[in-house]
């Protein structure tokens, strides 16, 4: 057996142990993974198509040679905006939940406004979204470098 054969069969054997969730609850939870925020999915063009075309057009600035980079930059920009909107939405939701729960506009102790308290409540999700924001910025940076040469 060659090394790659051995590797292949080891991979197969290992993969047999990783067949995903077994319980109904686990399967249900996993089925929602991609829907949690959708930030790993391609931009839905039916929703963003016209906006994407308009932004790409402005970035291209009349130079057909830059069409590809302009489109990549525009896609990254729209991803970036989605992440930023999602952050605001999470904060809004948390602030409204606090308000509805009656913890008051000045917080439980008279310190901190609603958004500060919402940031505190949602800090883990905000840190996760930071990762998506960094990724989108990095994609856009690569595209901008092509555009500004």
Which residues here bind another protein, judged by CB under 8 A?
A: 54-55, 58-59, 61, 77, 81, 84-85, 88-89, 91-92, 95-96, 99, 105, 107-120, 123-124, 126-127, 130, 133-134, 137, 140-141, 144, 147-148
Of 11 and 63, which has the nearer Cβ to another protein?
63
- Residue 56 Cβ, how far from another protein at the closest point, in Å? 10
CB 147 within 8 A of CB 65: no
Residue 129's nearest CA partner among 79, 95, 92 is: 79
- Residue 34 Cβ, how far from another protein at the closest point, in Å? 22
Of 11 and 138, which has the nearer Cβ to another protein?
138
- How far is 148 from 110, CA to CA, in rounded Å? 50
| Radius of gyration, CA atoms only, the chain | 22
Task: Return all residues near 10 (Cβ < 8 A) that are at least 6 apart.
Answer: none
């Amino acid at each position: 057996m060659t090394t790659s054969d051995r590797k292949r069969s080891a991979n197969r054997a290992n993969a047999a142990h990783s067949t995903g969730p077994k319980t109904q609850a686990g399967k249900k939870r996993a089925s929602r993974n991609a829907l949690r925020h959708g930030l790993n999915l391609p931009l839905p063009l039916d929703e963003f198509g016209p906006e994407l075309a308009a932004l790409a057009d402005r970035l291209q600035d009349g130079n057909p040679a830059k069409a590809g980079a302009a489109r990549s930059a525009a896609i990254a920009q729209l991803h970036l905006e989605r992440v930023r909107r999602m952050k605001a939405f999470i904060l809004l939701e948390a602030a409204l939940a606090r308000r509805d729960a009656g913890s008051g506009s000045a917080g439980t102790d008279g310190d901190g406004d609603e958004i500060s308290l919402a940031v505190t409540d949602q800090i883990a999700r905000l840190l996760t979204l930071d990762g998506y924001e960094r990724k989108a910025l990095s994609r856009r940076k690569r595209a901008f470098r092509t555009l500004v040469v």
